[in-house]
Each structure stands twice: as structure tokens, then as C-alpha cells.
Chains A and B, each alone.
Chain A
Amino acid sequence: MKNKLKRGQYVGRIGGQRSFGVGHRVMTIEFEGEAGSVLGGAVPGQFVQVACRDMDISRVGDPLLRRPFSIAGVRVEPGNFGEVTCLDLVYRVVGPGTRWLERRRVGDLVDVIGPLGNGFTLPEDGKAILLGGGIGFPPMFFLADELSRRGVQKVAFAGTRTVSHIEGSLKPAAIDSADVLEPTMALEEFVRSQTACVITTDDGSCGYGGSIVAALGEFLVRNPDWGDAVLYACGPDGMLKALAGFAAEKGMACQVCMEAYMACGIGVCQSCVVTVKEGTAQKYKMVCANGPVFDAARVVWGS
């Protein structure tokens, strides 16, 4: 799964977008031909670098750098002129790049480089617990699809600050559930892979009120048979750090999908480094080329 996966620079067409929640969007970009087959080969954990501006102009504008987004799902569908690969992104509108994406309409073109980085190491059997916090859900949706194809038993935790951030994808099951720690078909993007999910919110507006790691802890006390599962996580550094600590304490394997400020996204500029343990040494590793997935036990977490 390491490196040498094919990648390229391609132009895709917006297939559609909708609200995922307040300030959060789900977008589908369609690719045909070579672009479709290369991006169709993406694996969970990989990301794309999206040019969030019109590239077909003689003068370069802002935002200058591409923006990295995790791949939230890939589907191949029949189109009018052969197969179409549909790439899903889920993003939070935070600045000029994501505002530009928000304004795209069906049929608009976007320039994308990918797929980039190394995906999660996937199990053939056993159990998996998927944890997405903040805007860390996207790779978890894709991972759930793949685990479902492999028949791996899985359960997900989706943590958000407040329920409105995910209300566009929330299913009635989440609200109707009497027991907040009982996984249900709560989130649209997890339903397609039949992944039951526990919702956690910082403000208690839906599901479990409190941190995603605390929810996981309580869940494992109730369901000790999940204690040998592998943890897969993506989210803010604070959450990943807390989870890494939890995993170490419980002796659970944990893979984290990390973020860092990027320029190239393709391993040439050395911008996106995080500190990782290698034996007794500590080394800078590039999130874009050596990650974005790392073994949580090897990451040296910041303060």
C-alpha cells in the first residue's frame, strides 16, 4: 500500500453538492477516462489537493496554494460516455478556498491533484473502531465503505462541537435513540456501509455529551468484546493526542490520519512535517508523503 500508487493532475466536474450541516458541505466531483481510473484507485486515508480558484486564467490569483481534502468516498457509476468516477469530499467552510468551493455549481470544473499520501493499513478480519472528530469524518466514511467490502466488523464514533454541524446528514435514528452509547444508523454517509455510529457533541446537543475519547472509554467498559479492535481516527490534534494516550493505556493499536499546513502536498517542499519516533530517534516526517496516516504510538504530540 506504500507509495508508488498512481497519481496525477486532473480536471473534474462538480456532480453536485449539499449541506452536511451548518457551515459544512458534501461535494461530489466526477472524473472520466484516465482521471477516473487513477482517482478510482484511491484508498481510505488518502487525500487530494484541490485548486480552489479558476486555473484557466493568464494571471494567477488567490488563493494561491491548493487546499488538501481527505477523500470521503469513491464510487464508479455508469455515465453517458463510459464510466464516471465520483469522488466525495466533505468540507467545513472556513476561508477563501472553501468559500470558493461552496459557490461551485453542478457542471463547474475543478483542478485536482491526487490521490495523495498513504492510506490506512487495513485488516482482513477482526474488528475496527472508527473515530472522526470535527472535520475528521471524511476519511472515516471512505474507510467504513472499504471495511464493509472486506466484511470487517466495525463501529463508528462521530464527534462534533454541536449538532447543527452535522444536521444535514443526521438520520432520525440518532435523535430517537434512547441510549446515547448504543450505535445506530445515525449518519447518512455511514448508512451506505451499514456502519452503526455513536454521535458525541461537546455541548450535549445530540447523542453523548462530552469528548469522543470519553465516549469510547465508556463504550468499551460496556462492550469489552470490542477491546481487541483496531482504532482508526482523524480529527483535531487534541483529540488524536488524547486518543493516542488512551490507546497506549489500553494496549490497543491505533492509526491516526493527520493534518499539517501544506504547500505542495506531493512531497517536494518539506512544509508539512510532524515529529515521529524512529527507534530511539525523533525525526520529522512529511504528512503529505510519509503520512497522512501514522501509527499513533510513534507520533510525538505537541503541547
Chain B
Amino acid sequence: MVDLSVCLGDIRMANPVMTASGTCGYAFELNDFVDVSALGGFITKSITLEERAGNPPQRTFETAAGMINAIGLANVGLERFCSEKVPLLDRMEIPVIVNVAGKGVDDYVAVSRRVAGLDCVAGLELNASCPNVKEGGITFGTDPCAISELVSAVRKACPETYLIVKLTPNVTDIAQMARAAVDAGADCLSLINTFVGLAIDVETRRPVLGNRTGGVSGPAIKPMAVYMVNRVYEAVGKPLGVPIIALGGIATANDALEFILAGASAVCVGTQMMIDPNCAMVIISGIEDYCRRHEVASVMELVGALE
């Protein structure tokens, strides 16, 4: 018997595979295709204080081995999330992490405070990394002082809550941002969000996306993501004992294993869940096969086992 369970603080998950924010909806939207309760955990779409309509279309475009998106954090907002989605999340049998985004620190604090108090919520993921909205998101994630201020404020408002901070790769040194987040009170780090990119329609000489720029995701970004996870693990995760949730281009069990060996305690699948929702099951059983083949009793033994 292979033990696939992992722990993020007090959050115990049956396996290390979770959904990535923004790619699997608010709750059970993918249940027609995959039994979401068989995953390790569920991370919701980003929730903001006010409902957001999102960016003007075109919002996505396929690129080589990936895609670029500028959805613009379109979401139902805190009130509707609580009235419409939370009753669904109450029925979810796996740990639920709510992803929180905002324009300013006050927004994050207001949403976090309300959401942290909900029974169905195991933890919060602060999206300090969305590249597709003018204010907020990435502006926090690219300045160590700003991320520190943000995390401290949410930490103060929600002292008991398990706090995950989601980092952007659009920085010179991601370990510096990771350090700032942990020093300000983050319990866990998740990385990476999308890389800022630009796709141009050469016929019209205009940007393909309504927002001009977007965020690149999918298999194309995986090697950079694995590197960043390893860098953050070596510099912050391992010395300070802070777990890492890794994501960026995962589509197969081997992709997930690369991230775990690089230092991740759990992984999220984003873009691939929209293409092949069942991939989560294939990844989970692939990790189990790997452990059996390598005579590993617990998947936790693999975390950071990169030679």
C-alpha cells in the first residue's frame, strides 16, 4: 500500500493533486466529467469583494504548447459567492481553499475575513499574482514591501486561518518574494501564476487579446515553473519548513512528480483540467504507480528528493 496522503499544516489531503484557481470553477462544475471528491483538494476561482465582469473579449488564445488568457478575474463577487457557491462547497468532502483577490489591501482583508469564517473553508490562497487586472494582484506580487503589507494585514485579520500566498513568476527573484510572504505570516506558498505575454495578430497588427497582454499557462511554462519551485524550496521552503503547492503546465503524472521532487508538497492542475478533466485521476494513479515501482511507502518521502 502506497500512502498518497499529504499535509499542508493541519490540512490533510488524501493525495497531493488539487485544482488550480480559475480553471475548475467555484465548486462542482467539473463533476459531469470527474469525481472532484477524489482529488486531494479544491481551490476556487479568485473571489473579489465586488462582482467583476472581466476583460473585454477576446479573452484567450492558444499558443505553442500553451495558451494565453486575460479573463480579468471575472467572478460573482463575495456576496453571491457566499449565497450561491458556499452552500455547494458545504457539500464538498475534500479540503476547500478559497482564492482571494482584490484591488487594495482593504479588499483582500474584507474578503478574507468573511471567507475564513466559513465552515467549509480549510484555507485561503491570496492571489498576489494576477497579471490581467490593472490594479491589485500582480502589483502586490512584484514588490516585497507590498506583499509583506498585504500578507501581514490578512494575517492580522485572520490569525487562525491557513494562509497560502500565490506567487507570480514575473519577477527577477521569486525567492525574495517568497521570503517576504513567509516573514509576513504566510503558512504556505503556491507557485506559479501565469507569465505575462503578448500575442499579436500580424494581419491586423493588433493584439489578439482585448486586454492587450495576458498570462501564459500550459505545458510551455512547466520547465520554468519547476525551476522556480526548486529555487523557492531551497531558499525558503526547506530552511523554514514552509510547504509549497506547485503548478504550471502539469498534464501528466511525471509532470506532477517533477514538481514534487523539486520540493512541492502538493500540486495543482489548471489548463489541462479544462482540456481533459479526467487527467486528475490519471495523474493520481500515475503517482501511485511510480511510488510502487520505486518502493516509496509515502509520497511525502519524494518531496524535495531531487538529487
Q: Do A and B bind each other?
A: yes
- The stretch of B23-31, B83-91, B119-127, B151-159 in contact with A is B23-31
How far apart sit A7 and B31, CA to CA, in the bound complex (Å)? 10
Interface residues of A in 163-186 (CB under 8 A from B): none
The range of chain A's interface size is 20 to 34
Which A residue sits closest to B33, measured CB to CB?
A9
Is A271 a contact partner of B252 (Cβ separation < 8 A)? no
Q: Which residues of B contact A64 (CB under 8 A)?
A: 62, 65-67, 218-219, 271, 275
Question: Would B274 and A51 count as touching, CB distance under 8 A?
Answer: no
Q: Which residues of A contact B66 (CB under 8 A)?
A: 64
Whether A65 and B53, one on each chain, are in contact in the complex, defined by CB atoms closer than 8 angstroms, is no
Interchain CB contact (< 8 A) of A266 among B29, B54, B64, B69:
B29
**Is B71 a contact partner of A8 (Cβ separation < 8 A)?**
no
Segment 44-61 of B: residues with Cβ below 8 Å from A: 53-54, 57-61
Answer yes or no: B215 CB below 8 A from chain A CBs. no
A51-B67 in contact (CB<8A): no
Q: CA separation between A260 and B59, bound complex, in Å? A: 10
In the complex the two chains form, is B54's CB within 8 Å of A65's CB? no
Question: Which one of B58, B272, B277 lies within 8 Å of A9 (CB-CB)?
Answer: B277
Q: Interface 1/0s, chain B 148-178, versus A by CB < 8 A?
A: 0000000000000000000000000000000
- Take A269-B60, A273-B57 as given contacts and tell me if A264 and B274 are in contact as well, using a CB distance cutoff of 8 Å: yes
Which residues of B pack against A, CB within 8 Å? 22-25, 29-30, 32-33, 53-54, 57-62, 64-67, 69, 71, 74, 218-219, 251-252, 254, 271-272, 274-278
Besides A60-B65, A269-B23, 12 new A-B residue pairs in contact (Cβ under 8 A), listed by A number: A55-B276, A58-B252, A59-B219, A65-B67, A111-B276, A261-B60, A264-B274, A266-B29, A266-B32, A266-B274, A269-B71, A271-B59
Residues of B within 8 A of A66 (CB): 275
Main secondary structure of the interface of B (DSSP, over half): loop
Q: Is A61 an interface residue (CB 8 A)?
A: yes
Q: Which of A59, A62, A260, A273 has the most CB of B within 10 A?
A: A273
Q: How far is the CB of B43 from chain A (nearest CB, A)?
A: 13
| In-complex Cβ contact of B32 among A8, A55, A260, A274 (8 A) | A8
Judged by a CB distance under 8 angstroms, whether A1 is at the interface is no
A264 to B270, CA, bound (A): 11
By the criterion CB–CB under 8 Å, are B69 and A271 in contact?
yes
A134 at the interface (CB under 8 A from B): no
Task: Fill in one digit per residue for A100-121: 1 if any B CB lies within 8 Å of its CB, else 0.
Answer: 0000000000010100000000
Cβ of A94 under 8 Å from chain B: no
Measured CA separation A9–B277 after assembly (Å): 8
Asked whether B219 lies within 8 Å of A270 as measured between CB atoms, the reply is: no
Cβ–Cβ < 8 Å partners of A284 in chain B: 53-54, 57, 74
Task: Please name the residue on chain B nearest to A55 by beta carbon.
Answer: B276
For B251, the closest partner residue in chain A by CB is A60
A221 CB–B CB distance under 8 Å: no
Closest 9 CB pairs of A and B: A264-B274, A271-B60, A60-B251, A268-B25, A270-B74, A263-B60, A271-B59, A270-B71, A9-B33
Residue with the highest number of chain A CB atoms closer than 10 Å, among B24, B32, B251: B32
* Count of inter-chain pairs, beta carbons less than 8 A: 95
CB <8 Å contact, B276 and A274: no
Q: Which of B22, B30, B59 is most buried by chain A, counting CB atoms within 10 A of its CB? A: B59
**Assembled-state Cα–Cα distance A223/B249 (Å):** 58
Which partner residue on chain A sits nearest B270 by CB separation? A269
A266 touches B30 (CB 8 A): yes
Complex contact A269–B69 (CB within 8 A): yes
Task: Provide the bound-state CA to CA distance between A283 and B30, in Å.
Answer: 24
- Tell me whether B33 and A273 are in contact (CB under 8 A): no
CB proximity of B252 to chain A, nearest CB, Å: 6
Decide if A192 is an interface residue (CB 8 Å cutoff): no
B219 touches A60 (CB 8 A): yes
Instruction: Say which residue of B24, B57, B62, B271 sits within 8 Å of A274 (CB atoms).
Output: B57
Q: A51-B275, A261-B60 are in contact. Are A268 and B23 (CB under 8 A)?
A: yes
Cα distance, A64 to B286, chains bound together (Å):
21
As a 0/1 sequence over residues 125 to 148 of chain A, the CB contacts with chain B under 8 angstroms (1 = contact) are 000000000000000000000000
The 11 sampled A-B contact pairs (Cβ below 8 Å) are A113-B33, A260-B57, A260-B58, A261-B61, A263-B60, A264-B23, A266-B30, A268-B29, A269-B23, A269-B274, A284-B54
A9 to B57, CA, bound (A): 27
CA distance A63 to B67 in the complex (A): 10
For the complex, what is the distance from the CA of A114 to the CA of B29, rounded to whole Å?
14
Q: Does A204 contact B (CB under 8 A)?
A: no
Interface: A75 (CB within 8 A): no
Give the CA-CA distance A113 to B218 in the complex, in Å.
Answer: 20
A42 to nearest B CB, angstroms? 14
Residues of chain A within 8 A of B277, CB atoms compared: 9
Interface residues as binary, A33-51 with B (CB distance below 8 Å gives 1, 0 otherwise): 0000000000000000001
User: Could you say which of B22, B23, B24, B275 has the most chain A C-beta atoms within 10 Å of its C-beta?
Assistant: B275
Residues of B within 8 A of A262 (CB): 60
A267 at the interface (CB under 8 A from B): yes
Please tell me if the beta carbons of B252 and A59 are within 8 angstroms of each other in the complex: yes
Q: Is the CB of B274 within 8 A of A8?
A: no
Measured in the bound complex, the distance between the Cα atoms of B70 and A263 in whole Å is 12
Q: Is the CB of A273 within 8 A of B59?
A: yes
Residues on the B chain within 8 Å of A274, using CB: 57
A273 with B54: CB separation less than 8 A: yes
Q: Say yes or no: A270 contacts B54, CB within 8 Å.
A: yes
Query: Least Cβ distance of B220 to chain A in Å?
Result: 9
A60-B251, A263-B67, A271-B71 are contacts. A65–B62 as well, Cβ < 8 Å?
Answer: yes
